[in-house]
Copies of this chain bind each other. A is one copy, B any other.
Amino acid sequence: MNERPVGKKRVRFEPDNIEVMAETGANLLRVAQDAGVYIASSCGGNAVCGTCKVLIKEGNVATTGLDNHLSPEEIRQGYRHACSSHVLTDLTVFIPVESRLERTALTREDADAFEISDGVMGFIAEMGRNQEASPATAIESEMAPADVALEPPRTRPPLAKFFLKMTPPTLEDNVSDLSRILRELKSLYNLINLTVDFDVVKKLPETLRAANWEVTVTTIVTAISPSRAARHRPRVINIEPGDTRDRYYSLAFDIGTTSICGQLLDLNQRKVMAQYTDYNRQIIYGQDVITRIAFSQKTGGLDKLQQAVVSTINGIIRVLLSQCRIALEDVGHFVVAGNTTMIQILFGVSPKYIRLAPYVPTVNFMPPVKAKSLGIEAADHVYIHSLPIVASYIGADIVSGVLASGMHEKETLTLYIDIGTNGQIVLGNSEWMVTAACSAGPAFEGGGITNGMIASGGAIESFEINKETGAPVVRTVNGERPKGICGSGLISIIAGLFKVGIIGQDGKFDMEKNNIRLREGQDGPEYVIAWAPETQTGRDIVITEIDTGNLLRAKAAMYAGFQTLAKSVGVDGRDLEQVIIAGNFGHFIDPEEAITIGLLPDLPVERFTFIGNGSLNGVRLNSYYTDIIDDARKVATMMTNFELSDNTDFTNNYIASLFLPHTQASEFPSVMKWLNGMKVRK
């Protein structure tokens, strides 16, 4: 104990047994974050949400702020909120299961990565891109990776590598070093009108001579210029000694509000080498974009948020590189997508006006910038590229997802929907697209729900009433004992309870029902999903009428958004030929249940497709094929965004949607048919 620095205290986190030194007075939530211990914190440490509950087993903390989410009993036991606790003495802090954010929750996605990747490759093949390769190239590619530099410019990756074996200069041919390279690029690869980064020039003389005039030139094309010709004019970003064409990698990232998913891509084989997902370290500053934007307005807030996302990205890069034993210098490209707030923060652009009417983003096409200048651990020559942004709440993630879905290439009338705290809707086809965003609130991500949680281990993700016994049957993430309810579980529970009449069309519990699980709780009527002895928390897992109301409002916002958008372009929901559901959350919902509660339009289930992390898939396509850059630009430009916030039609539709499935029975004929049939049976 004697070696301890003055003013420092020892803080031990259980059950992880991670011990760190912290300054006296340090905020416990920040201490945990710095120690790599993730604690749920929906409100961003503002002592509002009450999700960051921890148990102080040993030592004392100074408590600030309100603790109205803790019962007197919990306070007596030593429970505190991490966000309002400050280190006074050495501490032993226990993080209860329900407060834990575990990285394992994210691994489900990673496991899917390769399968998704194959799917994308299939889709690309379908688009006819591979048909452009000459037969010779196609045969070669079975033996070794094809030389992508020889592919037509529009189908090769935007990052291209060209190997040059040059004749050294003589007195008769003593053009400048750069001219020699440009001359060779023109003669061998028909590359003209290149621009060249200044940094390339600086190291050129030594590189060329040390490499005996055999070098690999790396070029990029970017989506940033509005002129197609300019867009396809390559920029020389690196000149390396020797032939480095076999070391040809790029990074594709989806920057989510909650989690960040990165893939390391081999551009020769156009395949995913590795994928890794981690929580966005911005989480400690707030769980949703609105809280983050608010935090960005504090002194130093934007910098802190930017550093948090960059440190998450850097952590993921390190994992990916070490998994594949690939050197940082061999990664030449970095493409990202994310919602508008995430992209602006990552690039260090204040997101302030995203949440203020009239909701103006700063740019649609973010100019590429050196990744290193943002603090990202990348080689000096690497630029970071973002997919285009459409509006404050229709971000690069949506453009990317739409690209990956291929809806911009087909005449099929398609609804693309990303369900979440900020729901996004795209309607259209290859000819036109309209978009709208609706603030659904955090219910779909377990926020504001008594026993809500994100979809990590132990989260109830589906629910069914056993018709024989009337008892609920639940399925949890990873098959663990129940710990809470995630978004898909919540939909499943409400659909299930609605089907058996425990919840009525108005979302209220029918307390007349003679059901042992139905009871009057602290917050009014509630239904017990799992009894205390069955759960990880040792407490009953319940759903309350308040929870039901929250979900009702969330689903109403999503559906009213779709309804308003469809009406504004004269589309009848029944004419939809395809519904694409994107997002990790969407990946796990049951469309039939979603229709039952009136979240998704009442269509035959075969019209629904789930694409998972569509945003990441689009980023990967952008890394693989140059012409996807044009597509991205086209998609972003053709999207017409409708602002719903002050739209009276939306308000009316929203109110009409606060009902199961909907006040307008005609919107949900199949649900109504079943409902009426059930009533008749009674």
Contacts and interface: CB of A to CB of B under 8 A. Distances in A.
Interface of A: 169-171, 173-179, 192-198, 200-202, 204-206, 209, 224-227, 229-230, 233, 347-350, 352-353, 357-369, 389, 391-392, 643, 645-646
A176 B225 contact: no
A172 to B, nearest CB: 8
Nearest to A179: B364
Nearest to A195: B225
A198 B368 contact: yes
8 contacts: A177-B353, A177-B360, A177-B361, A195-B225, A196-B367, A201-B349, A204-B363, A230-B233
B227 A359 contact: no
Contacts of A193: 225-227, 230
A353 B180 CA distance: 15
A359 B363 CA distance: 47
Question: Which are the 7 A-B pairs with shortest beta-carbon distances?
Answer: A193-B227, A198-B369, A174-B358, A198-B367, A178-B363, A171-B358, A176-B361
Given A171-B358, A195-B224, 6 more contacts: A177-B361, A178-B364, A193-B227, A195-B367, A205-B349, A205-B352
B201 A347 contact: yes
A483 to B, nearest CB: 42
Contacts of A348: 202
Nearest to A168: B358
A383 to B, nearest CB: 10
Contact of A226 (B192, B201, B361, B363): B192
Nearest to A171: B358
Contacts of A368: 198
A643 B229 CA distance: 38
Nearest to A236: B367
A177 B363 contact: yes
Nearest to A229: B229
A556 B209 CA distance: 35
Q: Which of A357, A365, A366 has the most CB of B within 10 A?
A: A365
Contacts of A360: 169, 174-177, 205
Contacts of A174: 358-360, 391-392, 643
A171 B364 contact: no
A395 to B, nearest CB: 12
Contacts of A225: 193, 195, 233
Nearest to A359: B174
A196 B349 CA distance: 15
Given A357-B171, A389-B176, A367 B197 contact: yes
A206 B367 contact: no
Contact of A367 (B169, B201, B643): B201
A362 B204 contact: yes
A226 B227 CA distance: 17
Contacts of A365: 178
A51 B368 CA distance: 53
B177 A362 contact: yes
A622 to B, nearest CB: 19
Contacts of A363: 176-179, 196, 201, 204
Contacts of A230: 193, 195, 230, 233
Contacts of A646: 171
A169 B408 CA distance: 29
Nearest to A178: B363
Contacts of A359: 171, 174
A534 to B, nearest CB: 50
B362 A176 contact: yes
A206 to B, nearest CB: 7
Contacts of A643: 171, 174
A177 B349 CA distance: 12
B645 A206 contact: no
Contact of A205 (B171, B209, B350): B350
A358 B361 CA distance: 54
A226 B195 CA distance: 8
Contact of A362 (B201, B362, B645): B201
Contacts of A179: 363-364
Contacts of A645: 171
Contacts of A177: 353, 360-363
Contacts of A171: 357-359, 643, 645-646
A220 to B, nearest CB: 14
Contacts of A197: 367
Nearest to A227: B193
A194 B225 CA distance: 7
Given A202-B348, A349-B202, A352-B205, A362 B227 contact: no
A173 B641 CA distance: 10
Contacts of A226: 192-194
Nearest to A196: B367
Contacts of A350: 205-206
Contacts of A369: 198
Contacts of A352: 205
A171 B361 CA distance: 12
Contacts of A176: 360-364, 389, 391
A439 to B, nearest CB: 15
A642 to B, nearest CB: 10
A170 B202 CA distance: 47
A680 to B, nearest CB: 47
A264 B177 CA distance: 33
Q: Which of A175, A192, A389 has the most CB of B within 10 A?
A: A175
A348 B201 CA distance: 10
A416 B239 CA distance: 37
A178 B358 contact: no
